[in-house]
A and B are shown apart, each in its own frame.
Chain A
């Protein structure tokens, strides 16, 4: 099974500052046949279901603000919020869909400093 590990578990960032979350998979999620990274990112606000932010590691879902970006390949991935807004307070999860059982990271809680 592929294990997804996020870091940090939580971080506090000032409004307008950059927030960076990393996600590491225990094996590569880059498929050689199509050169795609089978990695998604979700945002979950308190009391709400998760919301898809990115798929294929860096393809932004419709409606996601441009201050969010996804990057990385193979086993190492990053979610960046370039200028943190109050509405970005949430828990963020990475998710590999390269092979079953599909797995999520443990989550990273983003708060305002």
Chain B
């Protein structure tokens, strides 16, 4: 059974850097084809894909946020970390991490964490 859980601060100030950790079990990020993505959802709004890291350390970023976000993995600890700089109130959202199944082109999200609400406010 695949599980994912997001952790990190619930409140950050404008201009600060957000660091979120996704801790997962039930799969390995060393398995060929597997990936972990970050998706966010502002309160009452739609989902927005942010970034994804694959088993081989290949990474994809949302172009509009690429200058502000970094994704890294620690395979030995079953962690994936999202770093987002220069936070703004518009970045207030629930941040989810999700599992990407192995397979050529299978970039959908078949398991999700419960999400963590991050509020950006002074």
Residue ranges of A at the interface with B (Cβ–Cβ < 8 Å): 31, 34, 36, 38, 40, 42, 48-52, 55, 61, 93, 95, 97, 100-107
Contacts and interface: CB of A to CB of B under 8 A. Distances in A.
A36 B48 contact: no
B105 A55 contact: no
28 contacts: A31-B105, A36-B105, A40-B108, A40-B109, A42-B47, A48-B114, A49-B112, A49-B113, A49-B114, A50-B96, A50-B109, A50-B112, A51-B112, A52-B108, A52-B109, A52-B110, A52-B111, A55-B110, A93-B46, A95-B47, A95-B108, A97-B108, A100-B60, A100-B63, A101-B62, A104-B48, A104-B49, A105-B46
A31 B107 CA distance: 14
- Nearest first, the 7 A-B pairs at minimum CB distance are A49-B112, A97-B107, A40-B108, A104-B47, A102-B49, A55-B108, A101-B62
Contacts of A106: 46
A50 B97 CA distance: 11
Majority SS at the chain B contact face = loop
Interface string B38-49: 000000001111
B79 to A, nearest CB: 19
A61 B110 contact: yes
B105 A34 contact: yes
A2 to B, nearest CB: 12
Contact of A107 (B46, B49, B112): B46
Contact of A49 (B46, B63, B107, B115): B115
B105 A97 contact: yes
B106 interface: yes
Contacts of A107: 46-47
A71 to B, nearest CB: 17
Given A95-B109, A101-B49, A104-B49, 14 more contacts: A31-B105, A34-B105, A42-B47, A49-B113, A49-B115, A50-B47, A52-B109, A55-B106, A61-B110, A97-B107, A100-B60, A100-B62, A101-B64, A102-B49
